[in-house]
């Protein structure tokens, strides 16, 4: 038995193809819906999204959402764990942050989301009226930032010879000076530096004005001292023969003034106005006498009275010196230095005793005979 297939009109063919395509698309949609049938909530640093996913693990979910945690980040579930039902997957990025509280600086790595959460974690509670460099509800930058907290302080600012008290919560020295209306230039000095943070115990800031000036000054020129040794003067004694006179010069100088006081002085050029006059001095080299003391009224005093009228400093120009009239040659023969009359009574008696022991009283023939000395 034979059947004949009726010939379809072209429009009927198109309708048939469209119907088949509709069935295919509908079937694919049902399959896709089946694959994405898990609903997941994702919290990435406080950004919460809800999505349907076909991911089987936490890592697959995060990858599909463009989230790539680093080893230092915190993820609420193991990355290779199966995707949980009815649980929020949370990611907290590790953030490097520098925290400055009243000049004390610490470097932290935090998983906090906001400035307020960070400060809470660090037990930092800004006092009323404190300066905070960011709003408490601001989110922290994943790649690092600096948070500054400065509590109110009373600071005395000294500049240009004046003191003024400033009530301030400003964090840096420059900020405090700006609030006090004190201008500084690049040469002026402030301790600590302008960019330094104000410490908790800071009660005073001082500005030192630095000024660089050039001046011409008249200055004295010291005279030199010329020394002549003199054996007739006791050692250590000095006698000025010609008094020295200072000279005078003009100098062009560069000065560094700190609050008006000279800190540095550099001579640029020098011109002599008047030369100095050298001072000439005699300085004694005679050693002190070491002769023993002799009581007054001794035989030597009676001999000196006869020889020189008792004048131990006698120098009449006759070639004999001192109380018992030594010649220079005889004096040196008994160990004397210089001339006899330049020495003390005791030294002359000491040397005369040596001579008497060697040669007897006959060294003074006239007076020893007159005094009955044998």
Residue 168 sits in the same domain as residue 218:
no
Look at residue 292 and tell me if it is in a domain: no
Of all helices (H) and strands (E), which one includes residue 118? helix 115-121
Residue 143 sits in the same domain as residue 99:
yes
CATH (domain of 129): 3.10.20
Look at residue 6 and tell me if it is in a domain: no
Q: Does pLDDT of 6 surpass 70?
A: no
Q: Give the pLDDT band of residue 9 (cuts 50, 70, 90).
A: very low
Q: Does pLDDT of 294 surpass 90?
A: no
**To 10 degrees, the CA torsion angle through 351, 353, 358, 362?**
110
Q: Give the pLDDT band of residue 18 (cuts 50, 70, 90).
A: very low
Number of domains within the chain? 5
pLDDT in tens, 101-142: 999 999 999 999 999 999 999 999 999 999 999 999 999 999
pLDDT in tens, 174-183: 999 999 999 9
Q: Which residues constitute the domain of residue 162?
A: 153-208
Asked if the bond preceding 192 is cis, omega within 30° of 0, the reply is: yes
Residue 44 confidence (pLDDT): 97
Q: What is the CA radius of gyration of the chain?
A: 55
Residue 186 sits in the same domain as residue 238:
no
Residue 262 sits in the same domain as residue 227:
yes
Q: What is the mean pLDDT of residues 278-291?
A: 82
Residue 308 sits in the same domain as residue 334:
yes
Residue 288 confidence (pLDDT): 66
Give the residue among 330, 290, 328, 325 at the shortest CA–CA distance from 310: 325
Residue 174 sits in the same domain as residue 202:
yes
The DSSP code for 288 is P
Residue 67 confidence (pLDDT): 95
Mean of the per-residue pLDDT values of the chain: 89
Look at residue 15 and tell me if it is in a domain: no
Q: How many residues are there in the chain? A: 374
Q: Does pLDDT of 26 surpass 90?
A: no
CATH (domain of 354): 1.10.530.10
Q: Does pLDDT of 302 surpass 70?
A: yes
Q: Does pLDDT of 203 surpass 50?
A: yes
* φ and ψ of 351, to 5 deg: -70, -35
* φ and ψ of 285, to 5 deg: -120, -5
Residue 273 sits in the same domain as residue 236:
yes
Q: What is the mean pLDDT of residues 52-76?
A: 95
Query: What is the distance between the alpha carbons of residues 139 and 128, in angstroms, rounded to a whole number?
Result: 22
Residue 323 sits in the same domain as residue 276:
no
The residue from 208, 230, 253 where one domain ends is 208
Higher pLDDT, 340 or 14: 340
Report the share of the chain in percent with pLDDT over 90.
Answer: 79
Residue 81 sits in the same domain as residue 103:
no
Are the CB atoms for 335 and 343 separated by under 8 Å? no
Look at residue 3 and tell me if it is in a domain: no
Token output for 306: 């006869």
Q: Does pLDDT of 24 surpass 70?
A: no
Q: Give the pLDDT band of residue 37 (cuts 50, 70, 90).
A: confident
Residue 320 confidence (pLDDT): 95
Q: Does pLDDT of 306 surpass 60?
A: yes
Give the residue among 118, 111, 115, 57 at the shortest CA–CA distance from 89: 57
Residue 216 sits in the same domain as residue 271:
yes
Residue 218 sits in the same domain as residue 282:
yes
Look at residue 68 and tell me if it is in a domain: yes
Are the CB atoms for 190 and 207 separated by under 8 Å? yes
Q: Give the pLDDT band of residue 23 (cuts 50, 70, 90).
A: very low
The strands making up 74-75's β-sheet, listed across from edge to edge, are: 47-53, 38-44, 88-92, 74-75
pLDDT in tens, 322-339: 999 999 999 999 988 889
Residue 217 sits in the same domain as residue 281:
yes
Look at residue 31 and tell me if it is in a domain: no
Residue 289 confidence (pLDDT): 64
Residue 14 confidence (pLDDT): 42
CATH (domain of 232): 2.20.230.10
Residue 331 confidence (pLDDT): 94
Look at residue 24 and tell me if it is in a domain: no
Look at residue 9 and tell me if it is in a domain: no
């Amino acid at each position: 038995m034979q059947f004949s297939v009726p010939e379809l009109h072209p429009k009927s063919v198109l309708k048939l193809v469209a119907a088949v395509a509709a069935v295919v698309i509908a079937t694919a949609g049902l399959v896709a819906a089946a694959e994405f049938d898990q609903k997941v909530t994702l919290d990435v640093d406080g950004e919460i999204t809800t999505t349907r996913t076909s991911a089987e693990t936490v890592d697959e979910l995060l990858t599909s959402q463009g989230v790539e945690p680093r080893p230092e980040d915190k993820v609420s579930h193991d990355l290779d764990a199966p995707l949980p039902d009815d649980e929020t997957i949370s990611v907290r990025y590790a953030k490097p942050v520098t925290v400055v509280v009243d000049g004390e600086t610490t470097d932290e790595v935090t998983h906090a989301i906001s400035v307020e959460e960070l400060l809470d974690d660090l037990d930092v509670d800004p006092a009323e009226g404190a300066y905070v460099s960011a709003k408490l509800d601001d989110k922290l930058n994943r790649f690092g930032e600096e948070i500054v907290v400065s509590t109110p302080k009373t600071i005395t600012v000294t500049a240009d010879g004046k003191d003024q008290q400033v009530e301030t919560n400003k964090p840096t020295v420059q900020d405090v000076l700006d609030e006090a209306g004190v201008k500084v230039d690049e040469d002026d000095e402030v301790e600590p530096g302008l960019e330094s943070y104000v410490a908790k115990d800071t009660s005073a800031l001082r500005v030192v004005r630095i000024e660089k000036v050039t001046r011409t000054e008249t200055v004295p020129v010291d005279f030199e001292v010329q020394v002549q040794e003199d054996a007739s003067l006791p050692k250590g004694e000095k006698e000025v023969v010609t008094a020295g006179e200072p000279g005078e010069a003009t100098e062009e100088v560069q000065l560094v003034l700190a609050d008006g006081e000279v800190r540095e002085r550099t001579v640029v050029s020098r011109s002599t106005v008047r030369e100095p006059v050298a001072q000439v001095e005699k300085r004694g080299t005679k050693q002190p006498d070491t002769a023993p003391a002799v009581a007054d009224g001794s035989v030597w005093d009676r001999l000196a009275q006869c020889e020189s009228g008792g004048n131990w400093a006698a120098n009449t120009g006759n070639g004999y010196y001192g109380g018992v009239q030594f010649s220079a040659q005889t004096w040196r023969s008994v160990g004397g230095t210089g001339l006899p009359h330049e020495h003390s009574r005791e030294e002359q008696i000491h040397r005369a005793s040596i001579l008497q022991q060697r040669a007897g009283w006959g060294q003074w023939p006239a007076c020893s005979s007159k005094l009955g000395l044998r």
